[in-house]
Amino acid sequence: MSDFFQNGQIVTLHRLSERSLEELEKELIENAKKRLLALILPSLYSELEGPALPNIIKDVKNVQYLNEIIITMYRMNADQFAYSKEFFSELPQHWRIIWNDGPRMKKLYRHLEKIGIDISDQGKGSQTWMAFGYILATGVSDVIALHDCDIRNYSRELLARLVYPMMHPTHPFEFCKGYYSRLSDRLHGRVTRLFATPLIRSLQKMIGPNDFLDYLDSFRYILAGEFALSVELAQQMRIPADWGLEMGVLSEVHRNTVLHRVAQVDIAKVYEHKHQELVWNDLSAGLLKMATDIAKSLFRTLAAQGIIFTPEFFMTLKSTYLRTARDFISRYAMDASLNGLKYDRHIEARTAETFVQSIIRAGQVLLETPYETTFIPSWNRVIDAEPRFFEMLIEAVEEDNLR
């Protein structure tokens, strides 16, 4: 059972009792009469044949308060898309697949490029952005939720707890992020534990008081892929196209809404999904790629606030980060020992030392290409540039799904 301590700048909603899923869903069904919910499932084709997604679909199909489900996919051919439609056909809710690299969607991407909106970097960020666009285009839902498709111990309680703050008629929230424990017989969540949190704390030491860094440090699991938001906020937000999605979304939330409308909620006792590989010296793949994109997103957001970065700053940051990460490793070692978990301090220290490469690379990119942006423009800007785009998007998705 969690504590009830409130700290940081945002509201924390804990797991203080074992409230039944039946009772929670009964309340959500009632609330869904006034606030309609859309669920986004960003997926690769390979996940249809994996251990997690089939079980997720079996559970999600029993969620009665869901208004629509948008599955946003890429990296598949026509035969695989046909199979995907068959795979998701057991869902009783209204659902659509966005085939992002299909002929019709490619045509829309080319059209956007002609008007100066480049989304050539296909990934989870661009998939999520296009799903936002489709939900905004149809205009039938009020709240959007998103969770990953590789959760191996998925329960629909995760979705219920995630969206409850957004769908409650008297709560003021515009954004809600999930958090949970990442452990088995050992601690997981290396990028959060050994990179993101120590990096944020290091920047706080070097920069001094900063509302944005304090806000980020308020989240218990800053890189959790599960969040919910209002459609109004989704229309205003820019979305990072790369692995910096989670960090970039939080920066846009901070920019576009007020803090008392932001919450985090305990959505699962334990969360288990596939673990990304750490390739020790390859910044183009796995966890190092993820960490580099996270750092780039963080540095660019701070630069936009007027923080001045220099080569000397990043050299000092490297040392500060390593000291901070080693302090965290000592804490994790004691925590693991008390709870009887396995813990290898050598591997943890080596992992943190490897993440230094991501900080150095992200700093180099910022200094060499200060005007580069990995953010996809907001949907407000898209519609200003092409007022007919929502109609074009609906037509493309409907033709793909109904043929």
> How far apart are alpha carbons 357 and 189 in whole angstroms?
19
Residue pair 182/338 in contact (Cβ under 8 Å)? The answer is: no
Residue pair 247/297 in contact (Cβ under 8 Å)? The answer is: yes
Residue-level pLDDT at 188:
92
Q: What is the pTM of this model?
A: 0.95
Residue 228 lies in a domain: yes
CA 313, 318, 324, 325 torsion: positive or negative? positive
Residue 83 lies in a domain: yes
Residue-level pLDDT at 272:
77
Q: Which range, of 65-74, 179-188, 390-399, averages the lowest pLDDT?
A: 179-188
Residue 226 lies in a domain: yes
**Is residue 117's pLDDT more than 80?**
yes
Give the pLDDT band of residue 127 (cuts 50, 70, 90).
Answer: very high
CATH number for the domain that contains residue 26: 3.90.550.10
> How far apart are alpha carbons 136 and 391 in whole angstroms?
11
Residue 306 lies in a domain: yes
Percent of the chain with pLDDT over 70: 96
* Residue located via tokens 């970065």: 309
Q: What separation in angstroms does the CA of 290 have from each of 116, 204, 223, 362?
A: 27, 22, 11, 11
Per residue in 279-336, pLDDT tens?
Answer: 667 777 788 988 998 999 999 999 999 999 999 999 999 999 999 999 999 999 999 9
Supply the range of the domain harboring residue 103.
11-402
Percent of the chain with pLDDT over 90: 83
Q: Which of 128, 163, 165 is nearest to 149 (CA)?
A: 128
Residues 6+ positions from 362 with CB-CB distance below 8 Å? 292, 293, 295, 296, 299
| Over residues 244-270, mean pLDDT | 93
Residue-level pLDDT at 277:
66
Give the pLDDT band of residue 276 (cuts 50, 70, 90).
Answer: low
Q: Which of 193, 318, 295 is nearest to 244 (CA)?
A: 295
Give the pLDDT band of residue 133 (cuts 50, 70, 90).
Answer: very high
Strands (E), 5-105: 11-13, 37-44, 66-74, 94-99
Residue-level pLDDT at 310:
97
> How far apart are alpha carbons 90 and 57 in whole angstroms?
8
Residue-level pLDDT at 375:
86
Residue-level pLDDT at 60:
98
Residue 373 lies in a domain: yes
Mean pLDDT for all residues in the chain: 93
Residues linked to residue 144 through DSSP beta bridges, in sequence order: 38, 229
Q: What separation in angstroms does the CA of 144 have from each of 113, 124, 227, 232?
A: 26, 16, 8, 10
| Over residues 114-141, mean pLDDT | 91
Residues linked to residue 177 through DSSP beta bridges, in sequence order: 227, 264
Per residue in 13-70, pLDDT tens?
Answer: 999 999 999 999 999 999 999 999 999 999 999 999 999 999 999 999 999 999 999 9
Residue 6 lies in a domain: no
**Is residue 1's pLDDT more than 60?**
no
Q: How many CA atoms lie within 13 A of 107 on its CB side?
A: 9
Q: Which range, of 254-258, 346-350, 373-377, averages the lowest pLDDT?
A: 373-377
Residue-level pLDDT at 274:
64
Residue 16 lies in a domain: yes
**Is residue 112's pLDDT more than 60?**
yes
More confident residue, 354 or 373: 354
Number of separate domains in the chain: 1
| Over residues 234-246, mean pLDDT | 86
Residue 212 lies in a domain: yes
